[in-house]
Structure 1
């Protein structure tokens, strides 16, 4: 149950990073999912692409270290 008088904090940069990070693992709390309304969808998409690029770069570096 959500209290009507309880203010929901506006989404910030670290909250956006946290949202994208946990989304990669598919693990989210229902309360976090309900509060995602405060986040800008364009920022979430951009952070998702940046996270994906970083993940691919880390994988490539690990593979090069193991293979070569």
Structure 2
């Protein structure tokens, strides 16, 4: 869906694409690297997929924190 945005500083209109709310909108890369710093499997998954230098997937299978948060995945 496209929405029309009126700029406050000019009479020009800009079109911006309206995006669905991201699944992980509550997370942001903040330097945390370890499972012990996470609070859920969802949070660990966000970090491993989006943040640099994470150390949460020892067996490199794409599933983080299998012992603490993402058991059985």
Asked if these proteins are the same fold (TM beyond 0.5), I'd say no
Greater fraction of residues in strand = 2
Scaled by the length of structure 2, the TM-score of the pair is 0.24
Scaled by the length of structure 1, the TM-score of the pair is 0.24
